[in-house]
Amino acid sequence: MLSRSCFDLLNLDPIEDFWTATPIPKLMTVPRVISEFETDDNHQNDDVPADSPVPHQRRIIVANQLPIRASRDAKTSKWSFELDHDSLVLQLRDGFKPDVEVLYVGCLKAEIDPSEQDEVASLLLHEFRCVPTFLSMDVQNKFYHGFCKHYLWPLFHYMLPMTPSHGARFDRALWQAYVSANKAFADRIIEVLNPDEDFVWIHDYHLMVLPTFLRKRYYRVKLGFFLHSPFPSSEIYRTIPVREEILRALLNCDLIGFHIFDYARHFLSCCSRMLGLHYEFKRGYMGLEYYGRTVSIKMLPVGIHMGQLQSVLSLEDTARKVKQLKEEFEGKTVILGVDDLDLFKGISLKFLAMRQLLEEHQNLRGKVVFVQITNPARSRGKDVQDVLNETSAIAKEINQRYGEPGYQPIIVINGPLTTQEKAAYYAISECCLVNAVRDGMNLVPYKYTVCRQGSPVLDRALGIDEADRPKTSVIIVSEFIGCSPSLSGAIRVNPWNIDAVSDAINLATTMPEAEKQFRHDKHYKYISSHDVAYWARSFDQDLERACREHYRRRCWGIGLGLGFRVVALGPNFRKLSVDHIAHAYKNANSRLILLDYDGTMTPQASVDKAPSGEVISVLNCLCNDPKNVVFIVSGREKDSLSKWFSLCEKLGLSAEHGYLTRWTKDSPWETCTLAMDFGWKNIVLPVMEPYTEATDGSFIEQKESALVWHHQDADPHFGSSQAKELLDHLESVLINEPVVVKRGQHIVEVKPQGVSKGIVVQNLISKMQSRGKPPDFLLCIGDDRSDEDMFKSIVHSSSNPSVPSIAEVFACTVGQKPSMAKYYLDDTVDVIKLVQGLAAASSTQPKFAQVQKSFEGFI
């Protein structure tokens, strides 16, 4: 039986078609040749009896920490474990189908001695379906407390380490620990992973390079990643020395999730600026094309576990706590804040807003109380202590200034508090203030809303008639956190604007009951329908969709280290075979060779666009063969092409995508046979000019048949944005004109309808047939979207019974990417080598061995 490692080794063969099929069934009862397996999912298990056990689906959830609480008995030194029901990764399993098995991979929150690790791992796997990753204390400190919490986390929250005392700067040793930890996670996943069946869902910034390790081992592993923190703008992200390694690692996933579009937009901007990738919308889904794979992008804010919170609200103990707090704060309006103790939660800003409120509205003194619950910090260091010292000092000063016997304006409760205790505070608070200066999501407003909805048990304890008293709540939320867009009824504030936050608190305390009810109902309807199960189910469905094409593509890996990526291409798409084309070329009597210029015969990034002496020489050699008709088919204007190829007397040129054509240097230029009216240029030019003035580095190229707006030298993001806007603008004003508006590689072009490189192919073949020399060999090489018209024309011609068939056809794109072409070459260097090989085959060397020798080094 083939091992899984053998499966991936087979992927290295770009010729083998076997892997376009579905995986081998788990059970075979009839002898059968492997290659007979069909790609149709409806038939892949035809030989499996109906009563055979069907393998369960499985999801492997990977997070930095397992949803497990660990404790050790001081007397017996025995470890005991229990599920942490407050853990998000545990709660999300409610979104999966009942028959889906869930396996968790992560670290424990306790240090386990190496001698006990095997026993603990076995216990956790069998009792809790958890696979622990054990890291040494040194790696754990450098990985989590070092690189994650003191470098990545502040930076992802927009805090740059401008000075050594203002955040941690990049440290190569901490980065290496981060990579080592991610590798350790990968090793544990691989131990339990069935790559044919399992889906792997990775969570958060602690494990951003993990996808590369998994993808390197299994090319078709089904991988999803969700980032729970913000993703910073490209100006911030670009400061990371290992920025490309992280981006490429994330792009090894099939689906990448973010809470809101802003975070996704920043990620896509980074991919555009640093990797030159551009996203597209396909049937409502957003995706990036990355080496033949489509990496899907999803935006969906996480929700809370409604059932768990509602069960807490239905406890008698919760009701007693709520009643006690109601009596304690009788006659006062409670404003509540619940935050982790860190510098981004804006706790001190809330206190300053409270001071402003009491200063400006003396009638509220003694009536409004701000209760701040602080959860323990998730990291340690000077920054945490600074936040604690600052908030304590401000709270003390406000209480001394505005407090009185029996009244403290600010009450600080240092956690941890149980879910039950927090629910009680939520239930008695008239307003919830979430004032973070930056936060990935923040579910506090969601929990507050559900607790304000209450339960029959709470209503009875408080003596409330549910029918007579509608539910109310008011949320004040920072505009810089992920939950803000989903809370359309909240009062949004800039946390840095103390006056605005103070005014918002005053508005909340004086808001009419009817408006409070309207805002509450609006929030509760959304929160109850978009809970954690909805979030998990939606992500899981999109992950399945994103992985649907895995076994219909041929895959192989390229790149070293964290630069590794998988090339995934169609089953019939392969590198152009030297032996194949040399044999076909040698045996042909009438050959048509079509070559694009920019990006094919000369590098796209080349400053000097004129052809090299090497290119001129090899083209002349091809043209001197009487069996060959050789054409350069380009979008460039005729004057440039005529000048550059003046030394190639027998070379055919097709300029401006086929609008102008000449067969040799001495023959006249022929225009397209279509009747042309260029009055539309008077419309297009005034539209393009303002975009050129506004976009530094852009320019307009005026051709005989077309107008082209170039933005290759402009800022990548702004240029791309302007190109999209210009495309929409031109399409709207030219809707009744006989033109085509196309966006290409760094260009927006307007040209007449009916002019394309595809028409060039048809015309040249037709003319050769009319001259009594129909081609029996066709080679067409190009690199961009306009060349796809040639490939498409070739495919249609070969399938059209009314057109004489061409014996040997080689449509070849430059670069490994989705294409209508059947073949590819890696770059312009490979193109030149191939053409040189053909030129050598056209020479007078009598022996085929000599022809083959000319191809040495091509592959």
- Considering the domain architecture, whether residues 388 and 337 belong to the same structural domain is answered as yes
Q: Convert 106-140 to b/e letters by CB count within 10 Å (16 or more is b).
A: bbbeeebeeeeeeebbebbeeebebbbbbbeeebb
Give me the pLDDT at residue 313, please: 94
Give me the pLDDT at residue 8, please: 39
- Considering the domain architecture, whether residues 467 and 611 belong to the same structural domain is answered as no
- Considering the domain architecture, whether residues 668 and 763 belong to the same structural domain is answered as yes
Give me the pLDDT at residue 461, please: 78
| Position 79 in a domain | no
- Considering the domain architecture, whether residues 154 and 259 belong to the same structural domain is answered as yes
Q: How far is CA 377 from CA 34, 147, 383, 387, 800, in A?
A: 56, 17, 10, 10, 70
| Position 16 in a domain | no
More confident residue, 820 or 19: 820
Q: How far is CA 431 from CA 336, 351, 364, 474, 605, in A?
A: 6, 15, 15, 5, 58
- Considering the domain architecture, whether residues 594 and 718 belong to the same structural domain is answered as no
- Considering the domain architecture, whether residues 746 and 786 belong to the same structural domain is answered as no
- What's the number of CA atoms in the CB half-sphere (13 Å) around residue 760? 35
- Considering the domain architecture, whether residues 760 and 616 belong to the same structural domain is answered as yes
Burial class of residue 416 in the structure, from the number of CB atoms within 10 Å of its CB (0-12 exposed, 13-18 middle, 19+ buried): exposed
Q: How far is CA 59 from CA 88, 180, 189, 201, 282, in A?
A: 15, 24, 11, 7, 26
CA distance 597 to 242: 35
Average pLDDT along the chain? 86
Q: For residue range 494-513, list pLDDT tens digits in order.
A: 999 999 999 999 999 999 99
Q: What is the CATH number of the domain that holds 741?
A: 3.90.1070.10
Q: How confident is the model at residue 817 (pLDDT cuts 50, 70, 90)?
A: confident
Total domain count, the chain: 4
Q: For residue range 154-171, list pLDDT tens digits in order.
A: 999 999 988 777 778 999
- Considering the domain architecture, whether residues 347 and 452 belong to the same structural domain is answered as yes
Q: Two tokens at 710? A: 């170039």
CA distance 416 to 146: 24
In 3D, which of 292, 275, 230, 273 has the Cα closest to residue 721? 273
Mean pLDDT to the nearest integer, 104-133: 95
**Which backbone phi and psi does 816 adopt, to 5 degrees?**
-85, 100
Q: For residue range 411-433, list pLDDT tens digits in order.
A: 999 988 999 999 999 999 999 99
- Considering the domain architecture, whether residues 764 and 823 belong to the same structural domain is answered as yes
Q: How confident is the model at residue 609 (pLDDT cuts 50, 70, 90)?
A: confident
Neighbours of 562 (CB within 10 A): 19
Domain boundary among 240, 269, 299: 299
Answer for the pair 679, 661: CB distance below 8 angstroms, yes or no.
no
Residue type, 477: V
Mean pLDDT to the nearest integer, 784-800: 81
Angle at the Cα of 69 from the Cα atoms of 66 and 75, rounded to 5 degrees: 135
Mean pLDDT to the nearest integer, 820-848: 78
**Which backbone phi and psi does 704 adopt, to 5 degrees?**
-65, -35
Domain boundary among 713, 733, 752: 752
- What's the number of CA atoms in the CB half-sphere (13 Å) around residue 153? 19
- Considering the domain architecture, whether residues 246 and 392 belong to the same structural domain is answered as no
- Considering the domain architecture, whether residues 318 and 434 belong to the same structural domain is answered as yes
Mean pLDDT to the nearest integer, 42-68: 66
Q: What is the DSSP string of 422-466?
A: HHHHHHH-SEEEE--SSBS---HHHHHHHHHH--HHHHHHTT--T
- Do you find a cis peptide bond into 416, omega within 30 degrees of 0? yes
Query: What is the extent of the structural domain holding 839?
Result: 574-674+755-843
| Position 37 in a domain | no
Q: For residue range 704-730, list pLDDT tens digits in order.
A: 888 999 998 888 878 888 998 999 899
* Helix 419-428 / helix 316-328 crossing angle, nearest 10 deg: 50
Angle at the Cα of 617 from the Cα atoms of 614 and 623, rounded to 5 degrees: 140
Domain boundary among 700, 731, 752: 752
Mean pLDDT to the nearest integer, 218-230: 96
| Position 73 in a domain | no
Q: What is the DSSP letter of 611?
A: P
Give me the pLDDT at residue 715, please: 86
Mean pLDDT to the nearest integer, 750-770: 88
- Confidence check: pLDDT of 120 > 90: yes
- Considering the domain architecture, whether residues 291 and 317 belong to the same structural domain is answered as no
In 3D, which of 106, 88, 67 has the Cα closest to residue 185? 106
Mean pLDDT to the nearest integer, 681-693: 93
**Which backbone phi and psi does 852 adopt, to 5 degrees?**
-60, -35
